[in-house]
Amino acid sequence: MGKKLLILGGGHAHMVTLANLERFIEKGHEVTVVGPSKYHYYSGMGPGMLGTTYTASEIRFDTQKVVEQKGGKFLLDAVEKVEPINRAAHLRSGAILNYDVLSFNVGSYVPKDGVMVGDINENDIFTVKPIEKLQVARDRILAQCSSKEAIIAVVGGGPSAAEIAGNILQLTNMRVCAKPRIIIFSNRKFMARFPKRVRTLVMDSLVHRGIEIREGCGVSEVEPGLVRLEDKREIACSMIFLALGVKPSSVFVNSGIPTGPDGGMLVNEYLQSVAHSELFGGGDCISFQSHPLDKVGVYAVRQNPILFHNLLASLEGEPLLPFEPGGDYLLIFNLGEGFGVLRKSWLTFGGKPAFLIKDLIDRRFMKKFQELEK
C-alpha cells in the first residue's frame, strides 16, 4: 500500500525531488506539495531582478505546473505548525494534512525587530525577502525618483545590503530619473565576516559609484520616512530596505520540534530530524547537527540528491544516505551595473568578469529546472 509524502515548500533543496516526483507516484505513493506561491523564486538572482538585469519569469520555477504534470497535488497555502505525534500538518487556511513522511524546505525570513509599522510594503519599507516583493520595490523606487532626489536607506552589514544597494543604483542609472542618495547603515564593520580582500573589493566598488557606507551606525528602529539610530540621531529617507540577515521559519518552534541555535530544525547526517525520523528538511530552514552551515544556496543544491534519495528510501523502508557538505564553495556577489566580486578558496577578484561568471551559472541553473515546465 502506498504512503503519503508531504512536501512543504518548493525551494532549492526540493528541486531534484520535484523533478522526479513520478518516481514516488509509480511506487503508489501520494505526493502533496504545499507552497505560499505557485512559483519558487531563485534568491541568488533577486537583486538582479530589482536592477532589471532579469525579468521575474527568468528567475522563477513554476512549482505548481511541474507538480501537477508529474501526478502530484499542489496546494497554494503555508504551514503554521506540525504535530509530529499525530503526523499532522496545520495549514494557514485551516486545513490539516496527514502524512507518513514530511520534508521541509520552508526557507527563511528577514527579521524585522524594531520595525514599528504594520504592512511595511505599503509604507516604502521593504525586506529583501520574499524575493517577489522586490518587483513592487522596484516600481516604488522609480516612482520616488521620478521628480525629486530620493534618499534610500539600506539597513544591514552583509552581502544582501551590498547587492541591494548596488542594484538600486543600476536601476536608477538606467532610467531617466533623479539619482537617489543611497546610504548603507551597518552596525559594525561592513562585510565583517568575510576576508579582508573580499570586503575591500565590495566596499571599493560601491563607494566608487557613489554609495555611502556608514559603519558603526546601529539602527534601533525604522518608521515610514525615518531611520532612527542607536545614538538617537534620526535620518530622513524616502525608502528603507531591511537586509538584516535571515532566520529560519518559526514553524519548528511553534511545533515543538528540536532546533539548533538559529531556530532551524535540528537534523542529523541524513537531513532527518534528530527527534522524529519521518521528518526531513533542507536549505535555510535546517540546522545541521554536525556543524553549522552558512545560509547560502550552494548547500541546498548539494542537499538535493540526498534529500530525494532519503525521502524515497524512507517511504520504501530502504537505507538512507548521509549528506556530506563538501569543501569550500564558490561565492559571487552581484553588485549591480555588471560588477561582481568572486571568491573561491585562494582566488578572489572583482569586476565585470566576476559578474559574468555568476550570470552564466545562475542562468544555467534556472534553465535546467525551467525545462521541466515544458
* pLDDT tens for each residue of the chain, 374 residues long: 799 999 999 888 999 999 999 999 999 999 999 999 999 999 999 999 999 999 999 999 999 999 999 999 999 999 999 999 999 999 999 999 999 999 999 977 666 555 444 445 557 899 888 899 999 999 999 988 877 789 999 999 999 999 999 999 999 998 767 889 999 999 999 999 999 999 999 999 999 999 999 999 989 888 888 999 999 999 999 999 999 877 778 899 999 999 999 899 999 999 999 999 999 999 989 999 988 888 888 999 999 999 999 999 999 999 999 999 988 899 999 999 999 999 999 999 999 999 999 999 999 999 988 988 77
252 inside domain: yes
Of residues 92, 78, 69, 59, the one with CA closest to residue 297: 59
> Cα angle at 52 between 48 and 55, to 5 degrees?
85
Domain of residue 133, residue span: 120-245
Same domain, 124 and 227: yes
Contact 79, 198 (CB under 8 A): no
C-beta neighbour count of 113 within 10 angstroms = 9
In a domain, 17, yes or no: yes
Distance of CA 49 to the CA centre of its chain: 14
| Residue 4: burial class (beta carbons within 10 Å; 0-12, 13-18, 19+) | middle
219 shares a domain with 159: yes
Model pLDDT, residue 122:
57
Tell me, yes or no, whether 93 and 173 share the same domain: no
Does some domain include residue 174? yes
Flag whether 50 is in a domain.
Answer: no
- Residue 185 confidence (pLDDT): 97
205 near 335, Cβ under 8 Å?
A: yes
CATH of the domain at 92: 3.50.50.60
The residues with which 96 forms a beta bridge, in sequence order, are 90
Nearest to 238, CA basis, from 118, 147, 129 = 147
CA distance 268 to 288: 6
| Secondary structure of residue 197 in the 3-state scheme | helix
Q: Which amino acid is at 172?
A: T
Instruction: Please indicate, yes or no, whether residues 174 and 231 belong to a single structural domain of this protein.
Output: yes
pTM for this one? 0.92
Q: How far apart are CA 339 and CA 360, in angstroms?
A: 14
Dihedral Cα 259, 263, 265, 271, nearest 10 deg: -110
- Rounded CA-CA distance 30/168 in Å is 44
- Does any domain span residue 166? yes
